[in-house]
Structure 1
């Protein structure tokens, strides 16, 4: 079949039988419509949209299913290789010993857990990868390092927005927390709140 005949057949196919004509781009190539059954791609979403759409499935569901106790996290930290880090979700109950809001952009509270003071970052600015890494978000899922870093900040911002207003009235009272914790070898590097509420464990 000649090239001209092939072109004519394509034209007849597109103009008969009620078929939808495919648009062409500037180079004359067909612009194929998106598959309505295709899974959404991170490449066409903003970091904030990704954070919001994946919050329940990738963060909360993962956290509630895999959160360990503070004591178990401390034990696990001893298995982290020297110089390395690992992030996990931790469920903990303790007493709020202090609130530091001297820097309104990087507020934190001190939660007494197993007799030890633990600094928990509340934001609104949180400089930590703990949440992203504990949720299992991988670099390979994104176009480049910039998008990956932007998602880290978007996840942290979204987490802060879900927290209750914490003020001086919390000090001295029991609290329950779901935390994202970055641990090194035998140490805790960063802790941020994912969920936080007043009261002792029922």
Structure 2
């Protein structure tokens, strides 16, 4: 009788409880930053339109940078950085023909023979390296997070949008494309840099 009563009581008590993960517990104590919500919407409605609007043809930008007096002036004129400790991020566009596509590497890339004659490398993913997309977005900065790990997660989530873009687009050798994207630099680049894409279209 008593044994059955204790068993019933244990079932009732346990029925109102559940085990939470360490991450859930952390989220309860420190709710995720609002910037982490609806990243796909931020990507589509804010980040990509900003890059497309500010993108300069890569060849034209490279010439402007080469003729700039110093890098800080070039960054203020042609690029963006939220604070001096960061590299400068430039928004660019490239139009040309796809000459190579590497899908065997986790850090896949494609090569575009630009109309300017330059051979330009575009990141494809699924792993997108760097934080140029995050750092070039004017709608968020580290001050909005004050948490290096969360800010890093924010960058990864944005990079995932770029990876999804390229995986769905499935570029092929011979495609004529236009890519709008970004690259970051600490100094004036002497050769075409690797571009992280935000938009790609077939011509």
For the aligned pair, the TM-score class normalised by the smaller chain equals 0.5 to 0.7
Matches within 5 A, 1:1-202: 43-45=32-34, 47=36, 49-78=37-66, 79=68, 80-81=71-72, 85-103=87-105, 105-113=106-114, 114-136=116-138, 137-163=140-166, 164-167=168-171, 170-187=172-189, 188-199=192-203
Structure 2 stretches lacking a partner, 5+ long = 1-30, 73-84
Q: 2:104 is paired with a residue of what secondary structure? A: coil
User: Which deviations, in whole Å up to 9, do the C-alpha atoms of 1:22-65 show, x marking residues without a partner?
Assistant: xxxxxxxxxxxxxxxxxxxx944473x35223223430221122
Instruction: Give unmatched runs, 5+ long, in structure 1.
Output: 1-41
Q: Segments of 4+ in structure 1 off by > 3 A?
A: 42-47, 75-79
Asked which structure has the greater CA Rg, the reply is: 1
The structure carrying a bigger helix percent of its residues is: 2
Aligned length: 154
Contact 1:43 1:142 in 2 (8 A): no
For the residue of structure 1 that corresponds to 2:170, the secondary structure is: coil
